[in-house]
Structures are given as structure tokens and as C-alpha cells.
Amino acid sequence: GRQLERWPPRRVMLAANGLGSTCTLGLAFTLMMRPATLPPVLLCIALAAAAEAALVVTWSSQLARFVSTEQLGAASGLFAGSDGAVVMAAPLLGAVLAATAGLQGVLVTDSLTSLFAAACTLLVAWPQLPMACPADRAIAVEEKPPFELGGLRRTLVLLWRQAQWRPLLLLNTVVAGVLAAVEIAFPAWVVAASGSGRLMAALALAGIGYGAGIWLWARVPRASWLPVLRRVLLLQAVLLTGAGLVCFQDSLWLWFAAVAVFGTGVPIALGALQSLWLWWVPQGLQSRLFAGRYALEWGARLGALLGVSLLADGVIAPLLRNGAWPSWLLDALGRGPGRPAAV
């Protein structure tokens, strides 16, 4: 965050897209070599990841430049919702593209998307001042921040010490980790318990719900951002808790309804979080503080992706097989295929 502030945001986004495109093309050419050597592959992946991080931090902190205060919620929902949709759809689209064009085709396509994004960045008129500038923020936007900002560690300390930002940081991190865990556990549960046909139907229904959620969030007024976030997270928590009970798995219509409702709530929760970040953090501090925000968010996602399988197979599965637990509890949780992932 501190280094990104030295360059104009537009230049950062162009450089990030250019570096990402170059790295993915370099990775494609490296993999075409026989045999491919590991160090160049790791270098290309690391540079592409760094470019993506710089791009996300910069673009998420510049939304207020392009939209009015009334449009800020809808723009935030579109930004967060499209990012979440890409994350969820990328494995499926990547598998289809890999089957038709090979791994090199996937990488070349990825490189072309970065070039397209760079072209869009060049074509957009870049406002000098933010269009959305709320007057009732807790901390005024100033040329020089009223507190000293240092590296990533000091940024995280600052976010944690501010009473208005701490719960937002905590919620953002937890939601990111939970959604990442669902991305792994849900397909594993459904395929093991009901087969791939049910999974495809569930993913299609969740996709429809996801689109409906983006549409609904665009119509939520600013005064309702926080109440809507609380209600959506509470509803999703109830739905995830119900996944642990085998009786809901056997009720087909109720199960599919829960999938659709949960999918609808995902872009609403993500849009609410992004909107609140933009509203509560002054424009002059967003790029620096968003670096800390995304560091925890991506760390939570990585921890969930690495830990959910270990938790299901190494902890929950042995507990379900343990005969010391009450029979009514084991009957409620279920002992069939996929139940550890569901729990």
C-alpha cells in the first residue's frame, strides 16, 4: 500500500495488467519447453500474483472517483460481486478451456484478458477528484493523514485500534474464510452424497441466485447497508448450520431452496462490506489501509483452502466414527458419504 501511493492509480493499474499479461505469457512459453524448469515457473507465478494484488488494492480504493454517492453502493456490489463470481466460475471455465485448448491456451487467454483490462483503463476518463465524497465520515479526508502510517504491520495495528474499523476488518476476514471453505466443502459434500448431477443443478441454481443478489443489492439504500449485512450474515449462518443436519439433505426442495438463498446472499454480503469500507475509510487512506484489509482477507482464504479438507477428514470424520458420542447426535449429523464435509 505504501509503495503504490507513489504512482498515480491509473499508472499502477496499467503496470499491473501489463506485468500480469507478460507473466502469464512467459509461463505459457516456459511450459512449452521440454522439460520445463521449476524456478522460472515459480517466478512467473509470484510476479503475476503480486501484480494481481496491486491491481485489486488500487482498483477497490478508486471506485469513489467514478460514481456519485448515490451510486456507490451499486458500484461496490458490482465490483465485489463480479470478483466473487470470477473466483467461483474460474475452476469450471478453466477446466473447460484446458480440455479444449490445453494449459497453454488457458494461459494465453488469461494474458489477453489482462491486455483487454489495460485497454479499458486507457479508454476511461479518469476524474481528478472523487465524485462520491460523503460529508459525515468519522475521519476527514486530508492531504496528510492525522496519524502516522508505516508498513503492513502498522497498518493492521491501526485498523484494529480504530473502533469503527475493527468490527469491519473482523467481519471481512471471517466472511472471506467461510466462503473459501464453502467453495471446497460444498462440492465435496454433494458429489460424495448425491453425485455430480445434483452438484451441477445446485451450481446452476446458485448462479441464478448470485445474479439475483447483485440485482437486489443495487437497490439497497445507503442507510440500510449495515442492517442488511447483519441480516444476510445471520441467514447464511442458519443455512450453513442446517447443512450439518442430515434431515435437510434428504428434503430435496428445502435443500435446493437453501442453496438458492445462500447464493443470493453472497453478493449482498460482499457488496455491503465493500460499500462500508469505501464509506468509512477516507479516500486518502484507502490504498494504504486496503492493503492491510486484503492481506488478512487473502490470508483467511488461503487458511480455509488449506485447512478445510484437513478439518473434515482428520478431525470431523474420526469424531463421527467414534462410538462414544450419543446416538441421537450421530443420527442428527449423519454417518453416510459426504457427512464430514457437510458438518
* d(C-alpha 245, C-alpha 263), whole Å: 19
- pLDDT of the residue at 89: 72
* d(C-alpha 6, C-alpha 34), whole Å: 41
In this structure, what C-alpha cell is assigned to residue 303? 487458511
- pLDDT of the residue at 215: 93
Q: For residue 304, give the 3-state DSSP assignment.
A: helix
Inter-residue contact 101 to 29 (CB < 8 Å): no
Where is 18: in which H helix or E strand? helix 9-32
Residue carrying the nine cell digits 482428520: 314
- pLDDT of the residue at 3: 64
- pLDDT of the residue at 136: 45
Q: What is the pTM of this model?
A: 0.84
Residues 206-223 have pLDDT tens digits of 989 999 999 999 999 988
Non-local (6+) Cβ contacts of 153 within 8 A are none
DSSP state of 303: H
Inter-residue contact 131 to 67 (CB < 8 Å): yes
DSSP state of 138: S
Q: Is 132 left (phi over 0), alpha (psi -120 to 50) or beta?
A: beta
- pLDDT of the residue at 143: 39
Residues 167-195 have pLDDT tens digits of 999 999 999 999 999 988 888 888 888 88
User: Which residues of the chain carry a pLDDT beneath 70?
Assistant: 1-4, 34, 36, 88, 91-92, 128-150, 323
Inter-residue contact 210 to 216 (CB < 8 Å): no
